[in-house]
Amino acid sequence: MAFVDYYKVLGVDKTATEKDIKAAYRKLARKYHPDLNPNDTGANQKFQELNEANEVLTDADKRKKYDQYGENWQHGEAYEQQARQQQQQSRNYSGYSGGGAQGGYNYESTGGDDGDFSDFFQSMFGNAGGKQQAKYRGQDLNAELKLSLLDAATTQKQTLTVNGRNIRITIPAGVENGQTIKIAGHGNPGVNGGPTGDLYITFLIADDLRFKRRGSDLLATVPLNLYTAILGGEITADTLTGQVKVKVKPETQSGTQVKLKGKGFPVYKNEGEFGDLYLTYNVQLPTNLTPEQNALFEKLAKS
């Protein structure tokens, strides 16, 4: 995997402040955002690189490791730990001699100088005389997928482009807004033959003009004319799968709520199971009444 220079990605110097980095990220993120470049694979990849660069360089600890270890920054802690262990072993052997005149083993401590440090670095990240190279798991990746409420109500297949790779996934009906799923083995490649990281996808479900979601139930407000509210009758109401006829009882008050069983949202990973749809009536008062209609209301008021 080619090394990505996060400073170059954001167009800033290594001396840039956190404020400079955030400003550069915001400017470029607007330019390459997938919503503005829906069919541009290059822009999508650039946007992913910007997110990675911003995540690393605005985190003081990650940035320190990145500046010190470059492309191997994710394994900095493991490297430092093993370096300490090697230095400890070196101190344990310091000044030890065995066998006396019989010509046993003699050990001399190097004192943990730069030679040991460099050799150890090579043993981890390069070929040091055929030594076994340490293997490290690849970095996990994060992506967001925007869906409409109607999209989230049906099981479907979609293709995501992550780091220039097309990944086809199946999205079960009923996913929640903000829910994250893991796609194993679709993150960054490992180091020295280590396992590949995973991909985590977070779903962002847009608000709907007709329905408000509450778990697997849906809520909706429907207008009800005064005459139907008083006399009763039948109205047509929207559901996710089409329109249905709903009977209205006489003398229905504004704010009355009725339940349409099984007309709500699919239950996640429970095929064939649905929540309920709750309709709240909003009684509409008539306007632009004729003189005759006004007279009738006056007569009702007097009675």
> Percent of the chain having pLDDT more than 70?
79
- Report the Cα–Cα distance between both ends of the chain, in Å, rounded: 86
What is the domain partition of the chain in residue ranges? Answer: 6-95+106-125, 141-205, 212-302
How much is the pLDDT for 138? Answer: 86
What is the reported pTM?
A: 0.56
Question: Is the model's pLDDT at 149 over the cut of 80?
Answer: yes
Question: Is the model's pLDDT at 206 over the cut of 90?
Answer: yes
| Pairwise CA distance, residues 15 & 51, whole Å | 19
Q: Which fold has domain 6-95+106-125?
A: Helix Hairpins (1.10.287)
| Pairwise CA distance, residues 148 & 171, whole Å | 13
Q: Are strands 233-239 and 217-225 parallel, antiparallel or unpaired?
A: unpaired
Question: Is the model's pLDDT at 190 over the cut of 70?
Answer: yes
- Domain 212-302 - what CATH class? mainly beta
- Residue 1 CA to chain centroid, in angstroms? 23
Question: Is the model's pLDDT at 97 over the cut of 50?
Answer: no
Higher pLDDT, 286 or 1: 286
pLDDT confidence tier of residue 81, bands split at 50, 70 and 90? low
pLDDT confidence tier of residue 193, bands split at 50, 70 and 90? confident
| Pairwise CA distance, residues 55 & 166, whole Å | 23
Pick 141-205's CATH classification: 2.60.260.20, 2.40.50.320, 3.10.105.10, 3.20.20.70. Answer: 2.60.260.20
Tell me whether the CATH fold assigned to 141-205 matches the one assigned to 212-302: yes
How much is the pLDDT for 90? Answer: 52
How much is the pLDDT for 117? Answer: 44
How much is the pLDDT for 235? Answer: 96
Higher pLDDT, 164 or 199: 199
Residue 21, both tokens: 């980095």
3-state DSSP helix/strand/coil % of the chain, to nearest 5: 35, 25, 40
Find tokens 């005064």 and name the residue.
226
| Pairwise CA distance, residues 54 & 25, whole Å | 6
Range with the lowest mean pLDDT among 88-92, 161-165, 292-296?
A: 88-92
C-beta separation of 69 from 75 below 8 A: yes
Query: For the segment 40-60, what is each residue's pLDDT rounded down to a tens digit?
Result: 878 888 888 888 889 889 988
pLDDT confidence tier of residue 84, bands split at 50, 70 and 90? low
**246: helix, strand or coil:** strand
Strand order in the sheet with 257-260: 212-214, 217-225, 277-284, 257-260
> Percent of the chain having pLDDT more than 90?
43
Question: Quick one: DSSP state of residue 274?
Answer: B
CA gyration radius, the chain: 33
The mean predicted confidence, pLDDT, of the chain is: 82
How much is the pLDDT for 67? Answer: 83
Q: Write the DSSP string, 152-185.
A: HTS-EEEEEEETTEEEEEEE-TTPPTT-EEEETT
Q: Please compute the mean of the pLDDT values over residues 75-90 and round it to a whole number.
A: 61
How much is the pLDDT for 86? Answer: 58
How much is the pLDDT for 5? Answer: 86
Question: Is the model's pLDDT at 127 over the cut of 60?
Answer: no
